[in-house]
């Protein structure tokens, strides 16, 4: 998937439920996202995600549809990270990494893991 994957905050909430559960009904998604939301609101957002190609469904019992992610979390993360890198850090991974290190209190284990990743040869794509 290219960098054109865009999720609103609520769509990301819905996708997070589907990634976590693997599949879910509208009611199950609503119960996890915000039980106060109308069923029709969540249903409409899921249908929008389906039109975008991010979600698919299968028939459940009766008229129930069971929804599941058509994209994986890593793909969505790569797309989002690419947008953040380009829009907020001018495309500079160094600036973004510096921001992460400076703004967040990293544990010794996290810093060690970052160092190991930086020393490792680049992954083949």
**Which numeric CATH code is attached to 9-69?**
1.10.10.10
Confidence band for 5, pLDDT divided at 50, 70 and 90: confident
Domain residue ranges in the chain: 9-69, 74-119
Write down the pTM of the prediction.
0.74
Q: How far apart are CA 51 and CA 45, in angstroms?
A: 10
Q: Which is higher by pLDDT, 56 or 2?
A: 56
**What is the C-alpha end-to-end distance of the chain, expressed in Å?**
13
Q: How far apart are CA 32 and CA 121, in angstroms?
A: 40
- Under DSSP, the state recorded for 22 is S
Q: What percentage of the chain exceeds 90 in pLDDT?
A: 54
Q: Per-residue pLDDT tens for 88-116?
A: 999 998 998 888 888 778 888 988 898 89
| pLDDT given at position 125 | 59
């Amino acid at each position: 998937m290219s960098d054109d994957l865009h999720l609103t905050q609520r769509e990301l909430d819905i996708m997070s439920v589907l990634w976590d559960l693997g599949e879910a009904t509208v009611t199950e998604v609503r119960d996890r996202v915000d039980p106060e939301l109308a069923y029709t609101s969540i249903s409409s957002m899921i249908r929008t995600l389906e039109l975008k190609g991010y979600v698919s469904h299968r028939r459940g019992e009766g008229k129930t549809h069971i929804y599941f992610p058509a994209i994986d979390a890593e793909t969505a993360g790569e797309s989002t990270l690419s947008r953040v890198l380009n829009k907020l850090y001018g495309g500079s991974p160094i600036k973004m990494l510096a921001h992460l290190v400076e703004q967040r209190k990293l544990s010794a284990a996290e810093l060690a893991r970052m160092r190991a990743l930086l020393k490792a040869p680049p992954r083949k794509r």
